Amino acid sequence: MLQQFGFTQYESQVYQSLITVDQPLDATGIVKSSGVPRSKVYEVLHRLNEKGMILESTIEKKRLYSALPIEATIKKLKTEFESNLQQLRTTQIKKTPSDERVWTLKDNHSIQSLLTELIQQAQHSIYISGWADDLSTYLPLLEAKHHAGIMVNIHVVGPFSTSIPTVSTLIPDSKATLERSRILIVDKQEILFAGIEESKWQAIRTQSNPLVKFFTEFFYHDVALTEITQKYKDTIMEDEDIRDVLLKLRY
């Protein structure tokens, strides 16, 4: 119950055993209902008491324990979480020189959060490529950057509506097998590239100049192929050889 909030398994078990009964329990009752070993239960109760998660009372030389009510617990955890977030925001970040190393990152939510942060940091230009349903998440921020005078170039797979004029839209052929990916190039100095491997999103981030140039060229490669495909679609679809070559290049 509480492990996802940073509590130990035993702490979670003890709290759950107390919150699910309508009367206080002593240590023996907690051991029976929680499954926490007797040798550990007093240590766990002490930690929960220090964290303000339980109430204690001594009646006739017997120490009883009761859980902090659910709503009070939710409010406490929410307040502490927001306080920790605020502390994190105010942490002084040291400015570092250009980092030529290639960093890897897993977990889709982490990748999305980093992508958003990099877009927010853009001062001059943004090049971004991805699928329409994916890029729509970042559209309000991209449009805000565009209206602030930042150059925003988008290559998107699938129908996409935006006030940004520099958009290249690829409507994929039903015969094409597309692989989902994201490319972000910020100020021609830093890139984030993400793709799916074994059904999980993985990404690399770097300020390496050769890689930034490579992915910038790759972005324009996609734009060029999209424009060629759209302009000469009928010819391409009729010529099997040309179609196969383009599909190999793009996909």
Question: Tell me: the pLDDT tens digits for 152-199?
Answer: 999 998 888 999 999 988 877 655 567 788 999 999 999 999 999 888
Supply the pLDDT for residue 145: 95
β-pairing, 200-206 with 102-106?
antiparallel
| Mean pLDDT over each residue of the chain, to the nearest integer | 86
Q: Say how far apart CA 137 and CA 152 lie, in whole Å.
A: 15
- What are the structural domain ranges in the chain? 3-88, 102-250
Q: Which residue has the higher pLDDT, 187 or 86?
A: 187
DSSP state letter for 10: H
CATH code of the region 102-250: 3.30.870.10
The mean per-residue pLDDT over the stretch 220-243 comes to 73
Beta-bridge mates of residue 125 = 151
Instruction: Measure Cα distances from 1 to 15, 48, 49, 135 in Å.
Output: 8, 14, 17, 35
Q: Say how far apart CA 192 and CA 91 lie, in whole Å.
A: 24
Q: Which residue has the higher pLDDT, 31 or 5?
A: 31
β-pairing, 200-206 with 190-197?
antiparallel
Q: Is 3-88 assigned to CATH 1.10.10.10?
A: yes
Q: How confident is the model at residue 90 (pLDDT cuts 50, 70, 90)?
A: confident
CB 112 within 8 A of CB 137: yes
Supply the pLDDT for residue 84: 84
Task: Classify burial at 210, counting beta carbons within 10 Å of its beta carbon; exposed 0-12, middle 13-18, buried 19 or more.
Answer: exposed
| pTM check: above 0.75 | no
Supply the pLDDT for residue 86: 84
Supply the pLDDT for residue 251: 41
Supply the pLDDT for residue 125: 95
Asked if 3-88 and 102-250 have one fold, the answer is: no
Q: pLDDT digits over 94-113, tens only? A: 655 667 889 999 999 999 99
Supply the pLDDT for residue 89: 78
CB 52 within 8 A of CB 76: yes
Supply the pLDDT for residue 38: 92
Q: How confident is the model at residue 245 (pLDDT cuts 50, 70, 90)?
A: low
The mean per-residue pLDDT over the stretch 213-228 comes to 86
